Chain A
Amino acid sequence: MSRSKNNTPQGVSRRTILKTGATAAVVASSPMFFMRNAWAQEFRNDPSKQSTVTFGFNVPQTGPYADEGADELRAYKLAVKHLNGEGDGGMINTMQPSSLKGNGILGKKVQFVTGDTQTKSDAARASAQRMIQRDGVTMFTGGSSSGVAIACQSLAQELGVIYMCGLTHSNDTTGKDKRRYGFRHFFNAYMSGRALGPVLKEEYGTDRRAYHLTADYTWGWTQEESMKNTTEELGWTTARTVRTPVGAGDYSQYLTQVLSSDADVLILNHYGNDMVNSLTQAVNFGMRDRSVNGKNFEIVVPLFSRLMAQGAGNAIKGILGSTNWNWSLQDAGSLAFVKSFGAEYGAPPSQAAHTCYVQTLLYANACEMAGTFYPPEVIKTLEGFKFDGMGNGPTEYRADDHQCFKDVLVVRGAEDPTNQFDLLDVVKEVPRSQVEYDPSIFGGELGPYKV
């Protein structure tokens, strides 16, 4: 308009210009009145005007969980490939029900940006803000720490962009800190406790004295609480619970205290490099050769992963723990995923990689099903979504707390591994019914759909 004003020839009056201007304004704004619905659905980083949709992969590339982060990133890249119809399609072929067509999402090619969480809440949020504000991501995902996941999840709620949690095991993620815009496929500490209980009873009896070493943050706290409750229900007693800082490296000062106590079981509520260090040091202290109260001294690691088993080497042999998924599972989904991951990277995927891959596909599928990227609609599609063929058997995203419910694996460190990746033996597949709980026990509130 200003342009036409500049070029106004002498003969045209001011009045004409004003009139034309007013008409133009009315014409330009009329779609707003008629397309009310489109107006209402305006949301942050709406990709509908672009030919691509961008995901943000926010994983720890440095810090104590860096190994997990690297594997998560591999899985994300593979998921993007499969979504765009490249490679062999992996779990897209086994997922049921699936609306994915292998041509991106809603016809849009999937792109991604990456970031480093440094396993710190501040850095993770800064990185996520960059993805959302500058790179325009429609969904972000990742994290290998519950502290980070909870921080990212509340950012997701504030900014109205869906966050699909990566590896996070704390009860709080879908408990007291749950959010409408956050979803967790991974299992949690409560389920670990429930699943491990019967096996511990079978293996170690009902008269034991447990000593806890716990990573000092949300995941460790809830893990310790869940394990304590489970073991005390079996009749065990708790000698002491000690909190250790994340990334401590040297645990000898804590382990000597274990030696001088009357405990006969050590429960290591540690993860990642922390667990590799504490377990290796505990074994080097000769703990497993001791006998206390007339029983063999045992070590339990409630949350296990193959990557950690790899790091801990021989120390892992015979140790009991639980895991979300293991690459040795023989169902169609796991086989397809392990095959395409192995072909791409030459090593089987970890449980962190599995959950991240599945989360990306689940989000993509929900968008296809909802027919839109509009977050409230996508959220409603994911809530209560039941699916199969993703490696864990029949699974449900519970609507009340955005937690997935599925079978849990109890595993043991392999006594004599046949190859460098075959480090965990599955002891028991604990059925979903045994690990289910009432969502109200942890409190929390999901918050509104529309922000």
Chain B
Amino acid sequence: MNMSARAKIQTTPAKDWILFIAFSIVILTMPLWTMPIGASYPALLQKFAIYGIFAIGFNILFGLTGYLSFGHAAFLGVGSYAAVWSFKLFTMNAIPAVIFGVIFSGLLAYLVGFICLRRTGIYFSILTLAFAQMCYRLAYSVLTPITNGETGLQLSGGDPRIIDRMFFEASPGLPSPRLFGYELGGYAGFYFCAVMMIITFFIAMRITRSPFGMKLKAIRSNQNRMNYIGFHTRPYTQMAFVISGMFAGLAGALLAVTDPLAGAERMTWTASGEVVLMTILGGVGTLIGPVLGAGAIKYFENIFSAFNENLLHNTFAILPDGLENIVVSAISPFVGNGWHLTLGLIFMAVVIFLPGGFMEGITRIQRYIDRKRNGSVDSKTENEKEPNHG
């Protein structure tokens, strides 16, 4: 490995700060640069930020320790329910809702982790999946008084909202979540989520760089060796699991803050699978990767699914008629309700050609540019498959 490549992998606090500041700027200016791709509207921007948090949290567990959880949606759901109940019982302020969401999902994560972390590999994945499905079924059946079943938990005019009532009278109509007087709808909601995301990114970065993070990475590379040298790994994996569950709870609570409704469908196994996809698509173990993956999936879900044949005909109107119809009929199975198909193809392409996700693509481009600049080719860097942890 030549010196320039080593320098890239090495991280310094200064570089981290640059990364962090660049990340913050990119996130906060998101309404501007998403304009050309038709994604610049508050509801989708909020989803980008929220699922970014979810994926960052998931990556702390999967990316660092290598434990693949298939049940993270359960924590997301619990976070949402806790937040909506906080709105219903106490106050429309978003801060208590977020705190409750994080606490309750943390408690559930502790319990689930306590049981599931006794196993590793596929057994761990299956156990978490089983727990998540159990939570989903419970929310759907016996817990209906708390979750309102399939209809979903909603605010209603008759909610007590004890703390709010102490300060002011109820206004007609349903209240909306607020932050000390500022309503958190639209772009305000996005900036609230964006700030939360930047904070979680910072925490994730500190964890990755800390001795604790180093131990988690060691667990991933060889847990047995850790045990042999006298290291008790359980507390560390348990900790990582709880932190990651709390991040998911935060994401769930933010979903409720931006749109005060919680449904059991947030906890289905497909929702758990989605965050796995996001992380793998973006790059497992990288800091930025999961955020990219989350953005890509949410973009497909919301924008690609809205394309219909009319829109395609308009887009390709410049082509001659016969050709236009051929192009439209060739593309239409991949857009609209066929967006899953496109996503599947992209996922396959990424897994086959870029096993390190989008981040590997970016690293490769970076190296290519570096090589061009230096004019020398090092065959070793070529073979380097380990994704850049930075």
Binding site for B on A (CB under 8 A): 61-62, 113-116, 120-123, 125-127, 129-130, 133-134, 146-147, 150-151, 154-155, 157-158, 172, 177, 216-218, 243, 245-246, 445, 447-448, 451
Contacts and interface: CB of A to CB of B under 8 A. Distances in A.
A119 B369 CA distance: 47
Contact of A447 (B43, B173, B263, B301): B173
B175 to A, nearest CB: 10
Contact of A130 (B149, B154, B302): B302
B176 A158 contact: yes
Contact of B140 (A116, A130, A216, A448): A216
Q: Which 6 A-B pairs have the closest CB atoms?
A: A217-B150, A129-B43, A134-B41, A133-B41, A61-B337, A218-B151
Contacts of A130: 41, 43-44, 302-303, 306
A115 B151 contact: no
A449 to B, nearest CB: 10
Contact of A154 (B154, B185, B263): B154
Given A216-B141, A246-B150, A127 B306 contact: yes
Contacts of B176: 158
Given A121-B263, A158-B176, A150 B151 contact: yes
A289 B14 CA distance: 80
A134 B38 contact: yes
B30 to A, nearest CB: 14
A448 B172 contact: yes
A154 B174 contact: yes
Given A150-B151, A245-B140, A447-B173, A122 B263 contact: yes
Contact of A451 (B44, B173, B308): B173
B43 A122 contact: no
Interface string B150-176: 111010010000000000000011101
B87 to A, nearest CB: 13
Nearest to A120: B265
A115 B305 contact: yes
A420 B262 CA distance: 42
Contact of A114 (B40, B157, B306): B306
Contacts of A113: 306, 308
30 contacts: A113-B306, A113-B308, A114-B306, A116-B305, A116-B306, A120-B263, A121-B261, A122-B261, A122-B263, A126-B301, A127-B306, A129-B41, A129-B259, A134-B38, A146-B151, A147-B150, A147-B152, A147-B263, A150-B151, A151-B154, A151-B263, A158-B185, A216-B141, A217-B150, A217-B151, A218-B151, A245-B150, A447-B157, A447-B172, A448-B173
Contacts of A158: 174, 176, 185
B47 interface: yes
Contacts, number: 98
A121 B152 contact: yes
A177 B152 CA distance: 12
Contacts of B40: 134
A225 to B, nearest CB: 14
A172 B156 CA distance: 13
Contacts of B174: 154, 157-158, 447
A366 to B, nearest CB: 22
B186 interface: yes
A300 B41 CA distance: 47
B152 A151 contact: yes
B336 interface: yes
A126 B261 contact: no
Contacts of B336: 61, 114, 116
A216 B152 CA distance: 12
B150 A216 contact: yes
B172 A216 contact: no
B173 A218 contact: no
B273 interface: no
B382 to A, nearest CB: 43
A22 to B, nearest CB: 31
Interface string B28-40: 0000000000101
A376 B308 CA distance: 31
Contacts of B154: 150-151, 154, 177
Interface in B183-208: 185-186
Contacts of B151: 121, 146-147, 150, 172, 217-218
Given A154-B174, A158-B174, A158-B176, A216 B149 contact: yes
A216 B38 CA distance: 37
B209 interface: no
Contacts of A150: 151, 154
Given A133-B43, A158-B174, A158-B185, A122 B306 contact: no
Nearest to A245: B140
Nearest to B305: A116
Given A113-B306, A130-B41, A218 B150 contact: yes
B389 interface: no
Nearest to B268: A120
B42 interface: yes
